[in-house]
Amino acid sequence: MIKLSAPGKILWIGSYSVVFGGISHVIAVNKRVRCNAKEINERNVIFHTPYGNYINNGNELINSVLDTFKERLEVPLGYEIELHNDKEFMLDGKKTGLGSSSAATVALTACLYYILKGRLDLMEIHKLAQIANYKRQKSIGSGFDIAAAVFGSIIYKRFTDLEKMDFKYEPLKIDKKYEMILGFTGRSSETVSLVKKFVERSNSEDFKELLKLIDEENNIAIELIKMNKYDEAVEHIKLGRIYLNYLAERIVGVSLVSREEEEMIRIAEEEGALIALSPGAGGGDSIFALGENLDKVRDVWSKMGIKVINVREDDGLRIET
């Protein structure tokens, strides 16, 4: 029996700017997709997933991985593969934004790779998973989520070429003294269509100028985090978010944070969070808060009817015993 798992993620620094080559920091969290594979006595590959059971093909996500293996290696037959998602990826039938698709893509890629090669090569698995994910998302996206599902919490800059896989990454963990929570907004965000709208406007001079300002703030914030100066770092993250929201509203014509979400952020920061923000693409899913003691934030959010998800930082891809 092979047992592997890959983590979900929170992109708290570098949303959108990472798509256009900027720096980002992504936190891998302890909500995981788990892949178990066992040998069977038939020349098929059978899948059991929360989205259905399949033989020799699957849903779009499974097919993106199988097609990548067909093109580059082979698809191993004679296995029954189970993909299990921790429950926090979905609440009330809606995604929470923790990234089940990237974790599932990496877990399945790693499982098939391990069956074929008998070992895990993180660089190879990362490349295969990025290729599969790129196919499924029709070339939209920076790949930060796939990289975090493989390598854990990292500073990430995207690849420009899938074959060369010229991405940059550097592990960077959050100081253990901080707690992290997500408050589920109940509104699902449309990441791909939001990113497309940004891409459509990305040639304008104003867009480029603002992106530069955002990236400068994010670079400073990440340097400060490396020095463990979180109090100072968050000021730069917040400024970067102000520029990002301005860019989204004034140039792209979309709003990333609703009135209710602004209120959740304001209350969290008032009640003890060092920072609260709408991670990833924004436009819904969950609000992220980080701070030394978030008890009051949990309390107040819960009283507002918001479902709170507690998360901890976690490893990237790993073999489970």
Ligand X SMILES: Nc1ncnc2c1ncn2[C@@H]1O[C@H](COP(=O)(O)OP(=O)(O)O)[C@@H](O)[C@H]1O
Residues binding ligand X: what is the number (CB under 6 A)? 19
Which is nearer to ligand DP6, 145 or 179 (by Cβ)?
A: 145
Among 2, 13, 19, 251, binds ligand DP6 (CB under 6 A): 19
Token pair, residue 92, equals 């009330």
Q: Does 281 bind ligand DP6 (CB under 6 A)?
A: yes
Q: Could you write out the DSSP letters of every residue in 221-242?
A: HHHHHHTT-HHHHHHHHHHHHH
Shortest CB 262 distance to ligand DP6, Å:
18
Which among 12, 43, 38 has a CA at the least distance from the CA of 25?
12
| The only residue of 10, 27, 29, 33 in contact with ligand X, by rule CB under 6 A | 33
| Residue 144 within binding range of ligand DP6, rule CB under 6 A | yes
Confirm or reject binding of residue 225 to ligand DP6 (CB under 6 A): no
Task: Decide if residue 258 touches ligand X (CB under 6 A).
Answer: no
Residue 84 in 3-state DSSP?
A: strand
Beta-sheet strands, E only, within the chain? 2-13, 24-39, 45-49, 52-55, 79-85, 90-91, 94-95, 154-157, 168-171, 179-184, 275-277, 286-291, 307-311, 318-319
Q: Which residue has the tokens 């959010």?
A: 301
Q: Which does 128 bind (CB under 5 to 8 A by kind): ligand DP6, ligand X, none?
A: none
- The answer to whether 184 contacts ligand X (rule: CB under 6 A) is no
Q: Which does 288 bind (CB under 5 to 8 A by kind): ligand DP6, ligand X, none?
A: none
- Cα atoms in the 13 Å half-sphere on the side-chain side of 148: 35
- The sign of the dihedral angle between the CA atoms of 143, 146, 151, 155 is positive
Residue 89, SS3 per DSSP: helix
280 binds ligand DP6 (CB under 6 A): yes
Interface with ligand DP6, residue 7, by CB under 6 A: no
Residue 33's binding partner among ligand DP6, ligand X, none (Cβ under 5 to 8 angstroms by kind) is: ligand X
Per CB under 6 A, 85 contacts ligand DP6:
no
Per-residue exposure over 280-305, b if at least 16 CB sit within 10 Å of its own CB, e if not: bbbbbbbbbbbbeebeebbebbeeee
Nearer to ligand DP6, 145 or 215 (CB): 145
Q: Shortest Cβ distance from residue 93 to ligand X (Å)?
A: 11
Q: Does 248 bind ligand DP6 (CB under 6 A)?
A: no
| Min separation Cβ 279 and ligand DP6, Å | 6
Contacts with ligand X by CB under 6 A lie at: 33, 49-51, 59-62, 83, 85, 89, 95, 97-102, 104
